[in-house]
Amino acid sequence: MKILVTGGAGFIGANFVFYMLDKHPEYDILCLDSLTYCGNIKTLEPVMDNPHFKFVKGDVTDRKLVFQLFEEEKFDVVVNFAAESHVDRSIEDPGVFLRTNILGTQTLMDASNEYGVARYHQVGTDEVYGDLPLDRPDLFFTEDMPLTASSPYSASKASADLLVMAYHRTYGLPVTISRCSNNYGPYQFPEKLIPLMIKNALADEKLPVYGTGENVRDWLYVKDHCKAIDMIIHDGKVGEVYNIGGHNEKSNLEVVRTILKQVGKSEDLITFVGDRKGHDLRYAIDPTKIHDELGWLPETRFDDGIRQTIDWYLDNRSWWEEIISGEYQEYYDRMYSNR
């Protein structure tokens, strides 16, 4: 089987490449990634010499390149991770989110239609369901909920999902969509909550918690997400959406306190800063469908996953210290000074 993995130099895409090469050593994986600020070729160093792996630097909206790649490589399956993924950046500058997340999806599906694939899988997000109230712990996101969006990021992901379903109905493209909750684990760019707080705590810098810190996210260890996508591309039903999440809801304050405790730093580092515009209150996935239909269950408890993640950031300082020395510092100052 030959799989095109787009966005494979990013956080989840790279973890997926590692997972698949390990689980299915006979599969061929081609990673297409334009290496934006968030993509890191160094992450893929451990697999660069694997004869079953190939890396191509390129943009998913580059029609000529994408069509040429499909013609040459004859992919069986496409898994589209490529995206602009950070909500705060989408609030600052939505344009590139619409281009990559919507038009990139269209380009990949047009090529999939033209050259024929057995499966086009769209990596979606639970943010397309909007948010849930904090005082209704009985409510969860299910696959049949209407799509709504709070940020330009989630609106772009919802648009892409609608387009994927439209390509299935109109052209018969064999699609699946997964909508996962918040991931954490190795190789996550330190603009997202968990790696940012680990990095700041290790440097004894302030930990900027938005608003009251009561917002809730449903955390899933990245390897469990990769396993779910592997199951969906093999056994998921064409035309279906699968929610992925492990019933692991935590407030942002709980997450930050856990990190501080584990690295042995004081809670005095916590600093409440201005809230995110349109900040979603609570995400919580109902994973009944993927469990009942495909037998998927998460394997990593949050206590273990967060310990492994902190250990990874401690053991791989050069990976993130290189990142925070460049454009990142400008971003950080822009986003957090005077907040």
Report, as residue numbers or ranges, the catalytic residues.
126-127, 153
Which of 159, 252, 258, 300 forms a contact with ligand DAU (CB under 6 A)?
Answer: 252
Which of 21, 44, 53, 85 forms a contact with ligand NAD (CB under 6 A)?
Answer: 85
Q: Give 210's Cβ-side CA count (13 Å radius).
A: 17
Rule CB under 6 A: which of 179-208 touch ligand NAD? 180, 182-183, 189
What residue 104 binds from ligand NAD, ligand DAU, none (CB within 5 to 8 A, per partner kind)? Answer: ligand NAD
- Residue in the structure block whose two tokens are 């515009």: 277
Provide, rounded to whole angstroms, the least separation between the CB of residue 107 and ligand NAD.
9
252 binds ligand NAD (CB under 6 A): no
35 binds ligand NAD (CB under 6 A): yes
Q: Determine the Cα–Cα distance for residues 109 and 117; give it in Å rounded to an integer.
A: 10
Provide, rounded to whole angstroms, the least separation between the CB of residue 204 and ligand NAD.
26
> Residue 183 or residue 215: which is nearer to ligand NAD going by CB?
183
Instruction: Write b or e for each residue in 97-135: b if 16 or more Cβ atoms lie within 10 A of its Cβ, otherwise e.
Output: bbebbbbbbbbbbbbbbeeebebbbbbbbbbbbbbbeee
> Residue 103 or residue 265: which is nearer to ligand NAD going by CB?
103
- Residue type (1 letter), 119: R
Provide, rounded to whole angstroms, the least separation between the CB of residue 73 and ligand DAU.
27
Q: Determine the Cα–Cα distance for residues 290 and 252; give it in Å rounded to an integer.
A: 26
181 binds ligand DAU (CB under 6 A): yes
- Residue type (1 letter), 126: D
DSSP one-letter code for 277 = T
298: Cβ contacts below 8 Å, ≥ 6 apart = 220, 221, 224, 246, 248
Torsion sign (Cα): 5, 158, 35, 17:
negative
Nearest residue to ligand DAU, using CB? 125
Contact letters for ligand NAD, residues 37-66 (x by CB under 6 A): -xx-------------------xxx-----
Contact predicate 85/38, CB 8 Å: yes
Q: How many residues bind ligand DAU (CB under 6 A)?
A: 19
What residue 81 binds from ligand NAD, ligand DAU, none (CB within 5 to 8 A, per partner kind)? Answer: ligand NAD
Rule CB under 6 A: which of 164-183 touch ligand NAD? 180, 182-183
Q: Which has the closest alpha carbon to 152: 225, 112, 99, 190?
A: 99
E strands along 175-304, which residues? 175-180, 183-184, 207-210, 216-218, 220-221, 240-244, 249-251, 270-273
Q: Determine the Cα–Cα distance for residues 228 and 290; give it in Å rounded to an integer.
A: 8
Which of 276, 286, 324, 331 forms a contact with ligand DAU (CB under 6 A)?
Answer: 276
User: How many of the other CB atoms lie within 10 Å of CB of 55?
Assistant: 18
Only one of the segments 31-39, 58-66, 123-131, 158-166 lies at the binding site for ligand DAU (rule: CB under 6 A); that segment is 123-131
Contact predicate 269/200, CB 8 Å: yes
Q: Determine the Cα–Cα distance for residues 2 and 15; give it in Å rounded to an integer.
A: 18
> Residue 31 or residue 196: which is nearer to ligand DAU going by CB?
196
Which of 125, 243, 248, 309 forms a contact with ligand DAU (CB under 6 A)?
Answer: 125
> Residue 269 or residue 302: which is nearer to ligand NAD going by CB?
302
Contact letters for ligand NAD, residues 90-129 (x by CB under 6 A): ----------x---x------------------x-x----
- Which residues are near ligand DAU by CB under 6 A? 85-87, 125-127, 181-182, 192-193, 196, 208-210, 215, 217, 252, 276, 283
- Which residues are near ligand NAD by CB under 6 A? 6-7, 9-13, 33-36, 38-39, 59-61, 81-85, 100, 104, 123, 125, 157, 180, 182-183, 189
